[in-house]
Structure 1
Amino acid sequence: MGHQLSLLLIAIIAIGVFSQWIAWLVRIPAIVLFLVSGVLAGPVFGVINPTEDIGEVLSPMVGLSVAVILFEGGLSLRLHEFKEAASGVRRLVTVGSALSWALYSTAAYFVGALSLPVSLLFGAILVVTGPTVIIPMLRQAGLNRRTASYLKWEGIINDPIGALLAVLVFQYFVLSGGPGAAGGGVFLDLGLAVIISLVLGGGVALALGWAFNHIWVPEYLKAPLTIACVLVIYGVASEVFAEAGLLAVTVMGMVMGNMSIAGMAELRRFKEYVTVLLVSIVFIVLTADLDPQVLRHLDWHAAALVAVVLFVARPMAVFLATMFTDMNWRDRLLVGWIAPRGIVAAAVAGVFAPTLIEAGYTGAQQLLPLIFAVVFSTVVLHGFSLGRLSRWLRLSAEPNGVLIVGASPWTTELARALANELHVQVLLVDSSWHRLRTARLAGVRVLYGEVLSETVQQSLELNEIACMIAATSNDAYNALCCSHFVNSLEHDRVFQLPMYDADENNDAKVVARPLRGRPAFSDHAQYEELWRRHHQGWQFYKTKLTDNYRFDDLKRDRSPESIPIAVLHDDKTLLLSPAGGTGRPEVGDTIIYYAPKRMDEDRRRARAERAEAANARSTDVTDPARLPDAEARPARETDTPEPPSKES
């Protein structure tokens, strides 16, 4: 038995994680593959049967996993994002929740032909717009930060609110025998549970933050201690009032996420890894546990009810709730459509449905299949449409920009060439207003401040950034910047200027390789070398590859000393060139490189002869056009940064 259970857990974990990986490779929502994989492994082929194989441990396992997932979601709720979308978020989680409950319940009663108690419970469960679904969707959709904040805050806050509302309805109508017998006791219990959850979650978060900052907890115990506290809080609050633990852990995550806690970056990273694993496991388990027999209870009433929920009730609730707020019509349209349901909705329905069936309520047998029908419909429809709809509404942040850390004459020329001539989004960041002056006068977008500071982090729209280059004179600082941004931009898109070979051979003077970004451009593109070549008159050039002028032709024609900088694809995606070079540019790509100003006449003549023989009439074919705004000039005394020096 133990051996079989081990194989079962291995299968669940493997299916979940590989589903996420495949979804990333083929660029589809991971939640869709979870559902498909779970259904195939469970109801279709019978490889996994969680109820029989795991038994009574299944329900508490799902509950504890959801608690950790909600805590991690609370960590991601930052107050500066709330300030940007404050009025809209407040309406969505208050007026929007109440309207959603009323509209969903009304639809269930009149369209779904359910009894009143079952209809009210159905509406309460659907108030939940699970973060376990919406956060992976947002990660792939690339929405701008403001629009993503609406969906993220609504999903994370509504999860415990919807669960508590469902518990309230269940206790008020079922356990207490109806409105007459219940009186106000249920509401008093609910109010007490909310207060206890807020005090417990917020108090433990403050205590942990204080202990971490005063070095009462070693680094290696911070993450385990946090998870242990999350589970304890969930258990204690749930003992006071069913599902109150979800609210308590969400509050704990929100408080800790907005505190200045030492080691918070590592804690966030660890929690994200754990959450990715738990989301995979729980979704596979729940979908594999679905009994195909429950689908027999669905009829045309069920199909009509799901359609009304998706296309009428949700858009109407969002439209009415957000009237007279600062949300524009694009945000309201997107939020009105996107409301996927997930783990919490399915778990709550699975807990309450058997009791309702035993009590003999009309439509109780349809509650669980109806909830699963909504979960499947919203996950598939919203998962596949979010990216397309956001692009159509111009709410997506296209990740084609370049973040340059460190202003110098060379990086200023690079930023000006990319932004002004190739129309690439460029953001040049430096803590010296003086060093940014030339870039500002050239029309380059700049950000004054320390890139690793909390203030600058809050103002960065990383969804717009495709790659980053740390190009200061300090190798250690460049490595620190790269290690900070690697989790947001992926390792293959985080670069720093290469170090000198002499340093590479001395372990005492070089930054450890795992802590660095990828070496950029060329092995000879160190800070001092680029500075020297800038004052020798080197310039940036661009050449678009065509059928008549390919990459091999460009390699023959350009100076052997030239330094490859980047490749701009037809879709305006820019990729910086790593030292040593990887990949091969294709026809239609634009190559940007850095080369001496004067080229040998023999090279020009050879290039012209080849171009004439190929009947190439494009200027990009006959001559790699120099970027007009990238010409070298002596820096004025007021523009000259500090002399370059090698900082250790």
Structure 2
Amino acid sequence: MAAEIAGLSPMEAFAIVGIAGIGAQWLAWRFRIPAIVLMLATGLLLGPVTGFFVPSRDIGPLLEPMISLAVAIILFEGGLTLNFRELHDAKAAVRHLVYIGAPLGWALSALALNRIAGLQWEAAIVFGGIMIVTGPTVIAPLLRQARLQPRPAQALQWEAIVNDALGGLAAVLALLVVLVGHQNLGGAEALWKLISGVGFALALGLASGAGIVTAFRRNLVPEYMKVPLLFVTVLGAFPGANAVLDESGLLTVTVMGLLIANANLPSYTEIHRFKESATILLVSGVFILLGAGFRFETLQLLDWRAVAFVLSVILIVRPLTVYVALIGTGLPWREKALIAFTGPRGVVLVAISGIFAERLVAEGIADGALLVPLAFVLVVATVVLHGFTLGPMARWLGLASGDRPGLIIVGGSEFSTGLAQALEKAGVDVVIVDPNRSRLLSARHAGLKYYYGDILSEAAETSVGLVAYNALLSASDNDAYNTLVATDLTPELGRDAIWQVTREKDEVARYALPIQLGGQGISGGRTLSQYLALLEAGWRFRTTRLTAEYTLAHWRESRAGAIPLAVVDRGKVAFVSDEARIVARAGSRIIALAPPDAPEVERRDESEADAGTPTGLPAGMVCLGRAPEDTRTIFANMGNPRPPTEQPR
């Protein structure tokens, strides 16, 4: 271990924390590895390895309140994430994992901590509550990287989101009970202090949340002040509750977040964006501070019991919790096995453990000192293990989507159906989404996946399984809706994965939108009506694979006049924004619209999607993406279509 060097000024220390935290997050995104691993390595490198940054030395007495406030905001964010209506509408597996799995996991974790790790019951019960949290900031990147099928991915994702709040509540309540019990008070006095302190914390949280909801609903606060007011309210409520009962402020802010999340506020989108940004900053900062302040000497407190504890959590506690919780859900054994052996812990576990450990030690519970090293070991073991095994295990169980890229096409039409057929031939997993059932007829009878509903609805997040798709094309006949969808889902998928057909009159100044709205354009600025006109004139979709002999130049020569739409390569689909600047190589597949008189290149064309009558429709019937005049007649001709609530196949 390197000797400590000259200290940094507080300003330099804050800069180091920000740069190191966000830098680690970016590198993790860039190289597709769990962010928590890089943040841990960065913190250890800055602190105990090099001595360049020592939080207790460089920040001093501000360190503890900074971490406490950061954890309070993180727990508030966890409360904001939990919408009980969404939980009620969620699949049975998710509800079982929450209602049964959370308390059972708490009990089994506490038992393992006491019997295997050797912790006193007080420390075991507190730490067991925190262990309910399976790391929402960790599980989402792992799910995207592993490309799981929608149902197990949704179960794991929603379990992490919901238990993020419940785990914090459980741990805080357990800590408050332990703290009051160790204050040498009489039984009645201790009970009164606990009830009054918890009651005040709950009342303050409910009152603060209700005040925010009332002010927002009655427009008593301008839009630009809503997020700052929310932030300040959290900062005020947290120490206010702590003044009555230590650490009860964490309970206050969590309850406050829960109330606001379930109030159906019209400004919730802005609040959601704020909490995401704040969480990334705070999680990064807290983990860098905890990593830099870690001392390798604390690992000496651990022995073989720590290894046995980690193994018991991974191989006994988590599987037993999941298998018991999922009884009666009807899930196949393969999905149960995948969920049972996937439970990464994240930064919330480490952050809360750091605060609770100090409080327990201060109250004379010596085993509290073991919480931090146990948390670090458990987080590193589960993140590294699941980071490397989730994908292979999913493939072995047949629950992975493979390396197939996923695309959501918003808007059913002849264009969407033909494009989806061509893309599926190129190895792309496509789902067409439309809130109008009649526009999905061609997709359904072409054997394509579809979803009848609004892509922006809360139900779509779980029903469609957004985590299984990494790109989106907004191509409905409503330009305003296309722009709304592309803008709203950009934070979810990233702007580089969002495309939109060109808006009508977009070249006219009075109709043009700011560049930050909508998605990227495709293929020379053509509108949906122009694509439909080409299809009606006999143009057809073609999927062509390039080889070392048949290059992009050969394709251009043999497909003169064709309109390149998309390139599928290396597990990604990218639409062509500039026809003169296509990036493709051997093995790439080019999806294009070819004119009626295009020469045949049968050896190169892998598929050909007929752009005339959609597959499966009665003769003479063409779906142009708009509701037919007499839908009842068409449905009668089609037989008995599936109910509108049908999910994608």
Letter in 2 for 1:264: Y
Letter in 1 for 2:587: G
Pairwise CA distance, 1:520? 1.2
Letter in 2 for 1:564: P
Pairwise CA distance, 1:61? 0.9
Letter in 2 for 1:530: Y
Partner residue of 2:63 out of 58, 62, 66: 58
Aligned to 2:643: none
Structure-1 separation of matches of 2:261 and 2:383: 28
Pairwise CA distance, 1:201? 2.9
Aligned to 1:376: 380
Are 1:490 and 2:494 matched, yes or no? yes
Pairwise CA distance, 1:234? 2.3
Letter in 2 for 1:47: F
Residue 408 of structure 2 contacts residue 430 of structure 2 at CA under 8 Å; is this kept in 1?
yes
Aligned to 1:234: 238
Aligned to 2:102: 93
Aligned to 1:104: 113
* CA distance 1:551–1:349, shift in 2 (3 Å): closer
Pairwise CA distance, 1:104? 2.0
Are 1:546 and 2:547 matched, yes or no? yes
Partner residue of 1:296 out of 291, 297, 300: 300
Q: Which segment is superposed worse, 217-226 or 198-207?
A: 198-207
Partner residue of 1:153 out of 155, 162, 178: 162
Are 1:257 and 2:261 matched, yes or no? yes
Report the TM-score when normalising by structure 2: 0.84
Structure-1 separation of matches of 2:474 and 2:500: 5
Pairwise CA distance, 1:473? 3.7
Letter in 2 for 1:472: S
Are 1:408 and 2:408 matched, yes or no? no
Aligned to 1:24: 29
Aligned to 2:638: none
Residue 28 of structure 1 contacts residue 384 of structure 1 at CA under 8 Å; is this kept in 2?
no
Partner residue of 1:620 out of 579, 588, 603: 603
Alignment of 1:570-581 (within 5 A): 571=571, 573-580=572-579
Structure-2 separation of matches of 1:356 and 1:454: 41
* CA distance 1:443–1:70, shift in 2 (3 Å): same
Report the TM-score when normalising by structure 1: 0.84
SS in 1 for 2:470: strand
Residue 96 of structure 2 contacts residue 325 of structure 2 at CA under 8 Å; is this kept in 1?
no
Aligned to 1:615: none
Pairwise CA distance, 1:123? 4.7
Aligned to 1:611: none
- Deviation digits for residues 547-580 of structure 1 (CA, Å, limit 9, x no counterpart): 2212221111002x21112223364x43322244
Pairwise CA distance, 1:483? 0.6
Are 1:566 and 2:560 matched, yes or no? no
Aligned to 2:175: 166
Pairwise CA distance, 1:67? 1.4
Are 1:522 and 2:524 matched, yes or no? yes
Residue 429 of structure 1 contacts residue 451 of structure 1 at CA under 8 Å; is this kept in 2?
yes
Letter in 2 for 1:165: A
Partner residue of 1:312 out of 313, 316, 323: 316
Letter in 2 for 1:406: G
Structure-2 separation of matches of 1:121 and 1:396: 39
Aligned to 2:183: 175
Which structure has the bigger radius of gyration? 1
Residue 230 of structure 1 contacts residue 249 of structure 1 at CA under 8 Å; is this kept in 2?
yes
Pairwise CA distance, 1:183? 3.4
Structure-1 separation of matches of 2:82 and 2:300: 41
SS in 2 for 1:568: strand
* CA distance 1:51–1:380, shift in 2 (3 Å): farther
* CA distance 1:480–1:293, shift in 2 (3 Å): same
Partner residue of 1:429 out of 429, 433, 449: 433
Pairwise CA distance, 1:68? 1.2
SS in 2 for 1:13: helix
Letter in 2 for 1:402: L
* CA distance 1:380–1:188, shift in 2 (3 Å): farther
Structure-2 separation of matches of 1:404 and 1:54: 51
Alignment of 1:243-282 (within 5 A): 243-282=247-286
Structure-1 separation of matches of 2:221 and 2:232: 14
Provide the aligned C-alpha RMSD in A.
Answer: 3.4
- Deviation digits for residues 437-473 of structure 1 (CA, Å, limit 9, x no counterpart): 3333333333334444455556432112222122234
Pairwise CA distance, 1:41? 0.1
Q: Which segment is superposed worse, 253-262 or 487-496?
A: 253-262
- Deviation digits for residues 413-446 of structure 1 (CA, Å, limit 9, x no counterpart): 2234434x45643322333333333333333333
SS in 2 for 1:546: coil
Alignment of 1:118-197 (within 5 A): 119-129=121-131, 133-142=135-144, 144-172=153-181, 174-176=182-184, 183=187, 186=190, 189-197=193-201
Residue 133 of structure 2 contacts residue 349 of structure 2 at CA under 8 Å; is this kept in 1?
no
Alignment of 1:498-517 (within 5 A): 498-499=502-503, 503-504=506-507, 506-517=508-519
Structure-1 separation of matches of 2:345 and 2:429: 36
Alignment of 1:309-388 (within 5 A): 309-320=313-324, 322-324=326-328, 329-330=333-334, 332-343=336-347, 345-346=349-350, 349-351=353-355, 366=370, 368-388=372-392
* CA distance 1:76–1:158, shift in 2 (3 Å): same
Residue 19 of structure 1 contacts residue 30 of structure 1 at CA under 8 Å; is this kept in 2?
yes
Gaps spanning 5+ residues in structure 1: where? 608-618
Aligned to 1:614: none
Pairwise CA distance, 1:541? 0.7
Letter in 1 for 2:75: L
Pairwise CA distance, 1:289? 0.4
Partner residue of 1:207 out of 204, 211, 220: 211
Q: Which segment is superposed worse, 280-289 or 433-442?
A: 433-442
Percentage identity across aligned positions?
Answer: 33
SS in 2 for 1:411: helix
SS in 1 for 2:516: helix
Letter in 2 for 1:543: T
Letter in 1 for 2:595: P
SS in 1 for 2:408: strand
- Deviation digits for residues 240-259 of structure 1 (CA, Å, limit 9, x no counterpart): 43333323322322332233
- Deviation digits for residues 587-630 of structure 1 (CA, Å, limit 9, x no counterpart): 22221110112225xxx6xx7xxxxxxxxxxx533xx3551544
Pairwise CA distance, 1:293? 2.4
Structure-1 separation of matches of 2:268 and 2:291: 34
Letter in 1 for 2:159: Y
Pairwise CA distance, 1:638? 7.2
Pairwise CA distance, 1:8? 1.0
Aligned to 1:80: 86
* CA distance 1:108–1:638, shift in 2 (3 Å): closer
Letter in 2 for 1:522: G
